[in-house]
Amino acid sequence: SSVSSGQDTLWYFIQACGTVADISAAHRGHVANNVTISWYNKSPQGLVGLRNLGNTCFMNSILQCLSNTPELRDYCLRNVHRTDLNNNCRTNAALMEEFAKLTQSLWTSVTNEAISPSDFRSQIQRYAPKFVGCNQQDAQEFLRFLLDGLHNEVNRVTVRPKVSVEDFDHLSDDEKGKRMWNMYLEREDSKVVDLFVGQLKSSVTCTVCGFRSTVFDPFWDLSIPVKSSGEVTLKDCLRLFTKEDVLDGEERPTCNRCKARRKCTKRFSIQKFPQILVLHLKRFSDSNIRASKLSTYVNFPLKELDLREFASESSERAVYNLYAVSNHSGNALGGHYTAYCRNPALGEWYSYNDTRVSPVSSSQVRSSNAYVLFYELAPYPHSKYQTCRL
pLDDT tens readout for residues 365-375 = 999 999 999 99
User: Among this protein's residues, is 336 annotated catalytic?
Assistant: yes
3-state secondary structure of 371: strand
Set 17, 27, 57, 341: catalytic member: 57
- The string of pLDDT tens digits covering residues 331-353 is 988 899 999 999 998 999 999 99
Consecutive H or E run containing 120: helix 118-127
Range with top average pLDDT, 89-93, 307-311, 386-390: 307-311
pLDDT at 45 over 90: no
User: Among this protein's residues, is 57 annotated catalytic?
Assistant: yes
pTM, rounded to two decimals: 0.85
Half-sphere exposure of 352 (CA within 13 A, CB side): 35
Question: What is the distance between the alpha carbons of residues 199 and 177, in angstroms, rounded to a whole number?
Answer: 8
Instruction: Spell out where the chain has E strands.
Output: 31-32, 35-36, 198-206, 212-219, 222-225, 232-233, 245-247, 254-255, 260-261, 264-272, 276-282, 284-286, 291-293, 298-299, 305-306, 319-331, 334-342, 349-353, 356-359, 370-377
Give the DSSP letter of residue 163: P
